[in-house]
Amino acid sequence: MEDRTQIIGAPPTQMGAMPTQMGMAQTQMGTALQTLEVECMSGNRYALAGDISREHALVVLKATGQQLGRRAPINVCLCIDRSGSMEGPPLEYVKMACDYVVDMLEPNDILSIVTFEEHVDVLMPARRVVNKALIKEHIHRIEPGNTTNLYDGLVAAFMQIAAVLPQTQGYVTRVLLLTDGEPTVGIKDYGTIVQQVAEQRAKGITVTALGFGPEYNEELLAGIAKRSGGNYYYIQRPDLIPEVFRRELETVMSVVARNVQVRLHLSRWVNLRQVYGLQPSFGPRTIEVTVPDIERGTSRTVLVELEFERHPVGIFRVAKAVVTYEDLLANRPGQAQADCVFEFTKDASLLAQGVNPIVRNEIEIAQASQNLQRTIMGMRTQQLTAMGALSELQRTRTILMQTGQTEKAQQLEAAMQSLQRGSGDVEKTLMGTIVDIEQGKR
């Protein structure tokens, strides 16, 4: 691609852009036959020419609803904490949840079960789900143990998934990690655990982190979920464990694209200021981010802030988004791409007219996530009183409601109620909201 691509004499609507009142710039989309469609939207139709300026760009990845009813087979490992604190109702509900998982799987799916306390046991090596009654017998033998060796439990789960990876191309891979406590034996360091998770993600293995009760480390589980591209759940009561397992498995079963990579090729006079939420890697004039698995009928967003050097008047491409992914429905590699285009003008009055409300919405959602992180830090350092934290959460909740993030706003409402009761689970709830926002699922 040329670095200074100018589109001469064509207004944005002739370039395949959205209507000008929406302020979008989309020049290419995935064809109707693709599982993923991509749009690259400019935060404003216009940018100032002749001066240094900053604007946002939004890459939207949308999974089509094609081939409804079909799903990719899954390779899932249940990684279950059976330390002493799980004794009683929690462990019984875990067994019930595992039974639900077995009932939902089909003979082409692969299941493994790892339990951990001080020691790690491979309760069931990776195998196809054929004899469900026998699998449930194994599950019902789980007994509580002593301390919590989370790291080695995760490593054992990764080994079970990896053992059948060569035979499971086209499968959705997922580790479901459930724990109710801090790691107490083995490797307990946050950085080491999260780095191990990141290395496994590079191999195509994702972890969903499920924290149960008041004692687990929400920062650790949120870090695991973010670095692996998985989901994060806070489970308050033991009777909710089966329902959360069911919801997560339904999510896994609806994945249509995995190993999704978004690469932005920047024009020579364009610089990156930040990528919101996700962790980018950099190359010559390129930024690459790994996007979590995408389910049927959903979308993922990647929001970036760009800086433009002094530029002449005209319509120019500032970035090209190239998306590669594994199409699980077609069982083949997929690719889609789109250009991000701005019209550079010396008329500053046009900027107010060209704002893209969709991108503006995403910026406000990203700012809500930053607000939540500051609120959590303020509570931890006691720089925020309970009343101050309530005020901040109310403000952020209003932003989420106004931007259409109803479910996330409800999570904040639950956190506010917990704070008013003096409950200690506020940060656990807020951490889940932050993970949801940063992963860009819409």
Query: Would you state the pLDDT for residue 68?
Result: 63
Query: Would you state the pLDDT for residue 169?
Result: 85
Query: Would you state the pLDDT for residue 425?
Result: 87
- The 10s digit of each residue's pLDDT in 333-355 is 999 999 999 999 999 999 999 99
329 and 42 Cβ atoms separated by less than 8 Å: no
The residue ranking higher by pLDDT, 153 or 50, is 153
Q: Is 194 left (phi over 0), alpha (psi -120 to 50) or beta?
A: alpha
What HEC string does the chain produce? CCCCCECCCCCHHHHCCCCHHHCCCCCCCCCCCCCEEEEEEECECEEECCCCEEEEEEEEEEECCCCCCCCCCEEEEEEEECCHHHCCHHHHHHHHHHHHHHHHCCCCCEEEEEEECCCEEEEEEEEECCCHHHHHHHHHCCCCCCCCCHHHHHHHHHHHHHHCHHHCCCCEEEEEEEECCCCCCCCCCHHHHHHHHHHHHHCCCEEEEEEECCCCCHHHHHHHHHHHCCCEEEECCHHHHHHHHHHHHHHHHCEEEEEEEEEEEECCCEEEEEECCCCCEEECCEEEEEECCEECCCEEEEEEEEEECCCCCEEEEEEEEEEEEEECCCCEEEEEEEEEEEEEECCHHHCCCCECHHHHHHHHHHHHHHHHHHHHHHHHCCCCCHHHHHHHHHHHHHHHHHCCCHHHHHHHHHHHHHHHHCCCCHHHHHHHHHHHHHCCEC
**How confident is the prediction for the chain on average, in pLDDT?**
90
* Percent of the residues in the chain that have a pLDDT greater than 70, as a whole number: 91
Query: Would you state the pLDDT for residue 66?
Result: 62
Residue with tokens 């139709």: 45
Q: Is 67's pLDDT higher than 70?
A: no
Handedness of CA 104, 257, 27, 51 (dihedral sign): positive
Q: How confident is the model at residue 12 (pLDDT cuts 50, 70, 90)?
A: very low
Bridge partners for 111 per DSSP: 76, 127
Residue with tokens 């690459």: 288
**In the predicted model, what is the mean pLDDT of residues 81-105?**
96
pTM: 0.89
Range from 83-92, 106-115, 327-336 carrying the lowest mean pLDDT: 327-336
Q: How confident is the model at residue 308 (pLDDT cuts 50, 70, 90)?
A: very high
Q: Is 22's pLDDT higher than 60?
A: no
Cα 245 from Cα 420, distance rounded (Å): 29
Range from 56-70, 303-317, 370-384 carrying the lowest mean pLDDT: 56-70
Q: How confident is the model at residue 160 (pLDDT cuts 50, 70, 90)?
A: very high
Query: Would you state the pLDDT for residue 18?
Result: 34
- The 10s digit of each residue's pLDDT in 238-263 is 999 999 999 999 999 999 999 999 99
**In the predicted model, what is the mean pLDDT of residues 380-386?**
92
